[in-house]
Amino acid sequence: MSDTLTIGGRALASRLFLGTGKFASNDLMAKAIAASGAEVITVAIRRVNPEAGQGNILAPIPSRCQLLPNTSGARTAAEAVRIARLARSGGCGNWIKIEVVNDNRYLLPDNQETIEATRILAAEGFIVLPYMSPDLEAARRLAAAGAAAVMPLGAPIGSNRGLRTRELVRILIEEIALPIIVDAGLGRPSEACEAMEMGAAAVLVNTAIATANDPVAMAQAFGQAVMAGRTAFLAGPGAVGRLASASSPLTGFLHEGLAS
């Protein structure tokens, strides 16, 4: 059975989104993209240099992939809007990941500024995927502002600490009709699998893959984990109980019913 994620009118077979920062080389990044099976690739606009030829960060990204420029470096809604407009005018398409960060220590997103940037850009026809701290009311406001998906953090960006916000993310999955894409902090394939088992629509991973001893193998592992978690979610995990429950009947042993 086909199980596709549709965002902005585009059907996606892979539910692993991949970031492009921290790779040792563009060649290594290209191999990781291929191994992961990812179809959505995010890149910071400030790292794009069209005059760099093959050194351009965009050069290794396959044409089959959906480019998701992000507004990394923006500290206000106005700055994020300006970066998004520059990205579109520079040929990067109309998908945009909103990142508005004022906190220099933990790099936590500013939800209020993110909501404002989302409102402006969605009205201009952008497919907006906002990165946010998991908060139900903020997520509702992002949905009302026109977001195409909501991207709550799992842990501080680049920390590899895992799904530390799982209960808050679970609430968003249950209450928000938009796709919930867990972004930032996932450090192990098992953590991506857990997010998918909870019902997340997708996950975005960068640091955990790019900084692994073998980024290509790790990219493949994350791709497989995301598929496994999605399959488990669709299968419907069994109920969790407090007491033991035998998997086989406790009657009908060999000695029962035999003549003495």
What amino acid positions are annotated as catalytic residues? 97
* 30-58 core/surface letters (b: 16 or more CB in 10 A; e: else): bbbbebbbbbbbbbbbebbeeeeeeeebb
**Distances in whole angstroms, Cα of residue 177 to Cα of each of 7, 30, 139, 219, 223:** 13, 33, 10, 29, 25
Residue 53 corresponds to which tokens in the numbers above?
């030829």
- Where do we find the tokens 């992002």? 142
For residue 161, the one-letter residue type is R
Please answer whether residues 44 and 50 qualify as being in contact, where contact means their C-beta atoms are separated by less than 8 angstroms: no
- Cα four-point dihedral sign 133, 138, 140, 141: negative
What are residue 77's phi and psi, to 5 degrees? -60, -40
For residue 67, the one-letter residue type is L
State how far the Cα of 81 lies from the Cα of 117, in Å rounded to an integer: 6
Q: What is the Cα Rg of the chain in Å?
A: 21
